[in-house]
Structure 1
């Protein structure tokens, strides 16, 4: 009886019109469609919106009559879950709502953690916003039933896609493809994606990395929650005020009915909630899906779209409208496609119990193997840049064209001197760049891999070209080097530096006499008259040859060793003899 008394109380609150505020939005045609036009639903909504807790006041009317309101003109405004929380306060774990069923105050643990983490992160990044995690929970509830009851993996990514209807203008917004099918698998029209239902073009602007894995994925509850929070806080909104809170929610879906539904759940969660195990079907909305008896009249299930004209500078782009999942145990009507990403059980609105197919379109491009390559000028790189084109589930996609491009001031090129080339992915989704020649110029450059026509981002490979280093240093003649004491050698010392049999030009060479040569041969004298027995400023010429300067015998007879070393380590020893 508590529930019945509550409804009578709600009716009295509504009819006495506390504060005498008009509820013009309650009479809107869209609201009547969203709640099935029943008097009870209208009374419940009126009671909820008339009895907000402190700090959650609606700040006046929110229908199309409100000054400055854009009205409910966006197609699909009524395409969201209209289930309302019970009028009684949430019950603690282990108890149930009198006269009801399910644990409506519970939120799947992984999803709850994502909401709270996003709110904490934004509290430090946008301290003036005042975003509470309960608002994200309210939106997540009506958007996807908290990611279909917490059907996410250990990283927070939905186990199966949650997609809105095709936005082809038939009952919803007309938004042609903006992501090449990367997120929604549709290359003709866009569809809203993920637990918080972002259309791809909006995600392209607001996407965030909430779990620190280096990717921004609308299918991941951590990423989606952080992006939704940043979106709600945009334009310096203060969500601690009623007006700021209203503006934020209306920016997500410009519908007075949507505002009231979200705020009802927001207030409900503020009174108390708790974590429940992931994949708990009791948290799913039980409102009949759109097009079903008692539901809305718009065709399809899931979310509607946003007006792309709203995605302009100075105004946050508006995510498309929330979807209303089919009620558990109640299949969609014939001709009304179920929302992909459902529970996959017979009779739950997922196409007769058949599992939704995994996305097969390109979702991301990732590097495979090494990210850095080095080669010597004039040679080919030994390694090849490799990338993988994947679906949203990480499966390789065959037959995708990948473009590799040499970027930067360099002489490097692919076959036939081309600076770009296109390769098709193999059965594993891998694309391997062809052989890359280093060219004659030293320095660094980048090889960038992209998928033409797809917004999959890019993968860069760092490459550098170094000067060649000799692997061999040898005398150009085998003549004996001899000189008398106090004289000088008549034959010059000549050596040649080569690499793989080719001359190495302009490489450094040092020449040093070893131990015991303190009074032996030398290369002239310095300004102080000291004999020079070590040379470090030698360079090979264009033919890789270096000729040592004039060599003097010294005063001590004997055989001495002259060691010449090229840059890179190649060396040769030359014997010289001083006769007495």
Structure 2
């Protein structure tokens, strides 16, 4: 029977060696999807550098909280019984390890489906969410969830107080983790509160974003892994995404092991029947503890039988008690870099302007400084797009957290302008410290065209009281390229010198069928094409003008002819082919 590697593994050389061996065995015997050599080369990059490059929190989604180190067995998830196995001989544990609680499995698959629709270029497999869910919480402690996907009790990692772990002081006033002193990773996907505040999602449509709900947590994890335009079908992006979740080489190896194991095959098991891993990355550390389930304190036990005899009174001491030695007052921990920040200052940000739908060419730069104006490095700065705006950072998120460098500077990711024009406010704040935020203002201008022409040269004619056979169609361009989503107006003007709307001649119709001679709110399509509604004529004959104007000032004047059928001004039917 193939050995099951699922014991307590210590961090260090032993963990890395066993993990690497397991990944190699998995790749050789089961998993064609990942080349271990490529994985090792990609993972060899410093994890901190990977985090900085992505603009993520220094501690990733989990604050680099501890995780389960158990690895999958080396045998297939669906092993065949041995022909020589006698009665009562246990089978390999592959089938059991491949079981995922029903509600948790459903949450992973629903998150994959949502990301396939909203970010198809990410190529997120649900097995990656399952691998992370296994490593972070053992699939919500073996599927301890209710019918709506909420864990029956909160799952909390140890407090990140710097005692064997990262130091992350409270960022949510205890809203998510119940701890107003330090942050703790929360829920089945172990998000720290500062990350959940922007990454949280409503995965089950109940109107809430609950880190202890497996549907919400799985969808949030999917969006977190799919930011920065990562394509998870590419090994390099996959490695970067996993490292951004928890900046650890051992973590990367463990998650990839479970990913390939689950890709080989899984099955559904009832909620609450899954096993919980045993090995922890924090085994042996001072103050370490596995993710806990808060519970009421137990009642102290009472002795079943009272004592039968009373001990004799103790005689007073014959010598005076010695004076206890003076106690050493507890030492105050040195301030963290975050504790020393007094204010934020602009780091030389240039004017921020972009047309709708385009990326800003300049980036926001912010400096963290002490009261004396000294730069402070290793401080997390959160950039947030404030208010109702569809402008976002690269990757589609409205929040990005970046750690200041040695010069105290944090540069936000590239901003991508949305379709809403006007001023956008981006606020910079210090994570974990109450310091007045610094607001930056960016301007989104409308899309424009510098030329507009008809798509054909068909004569536009109509008899009095009739309907024009052809509709007006034009194409707008900007610097020779199609100008999509550009606003335009169309007006039947009085004359070439008078742009006011005409009171007679051709007209459009509104929704109620009433004549209108000015159309606003027109927008070109993805090819820069604008096709106007049907045109009608009243009883007035003559030549009339239709003026089309686009945002950016491009204009086109089109002639319309209204004449009786036997009039010389009216071309024969064969001369006016239908559009």
The two structures share one fold, judged by TM-score above 0.5:
no
Structure exhibiting the larger radius of gyration computed from Cα positions: 1
- The TM-score normalised by the length of structure 1 is 0.44
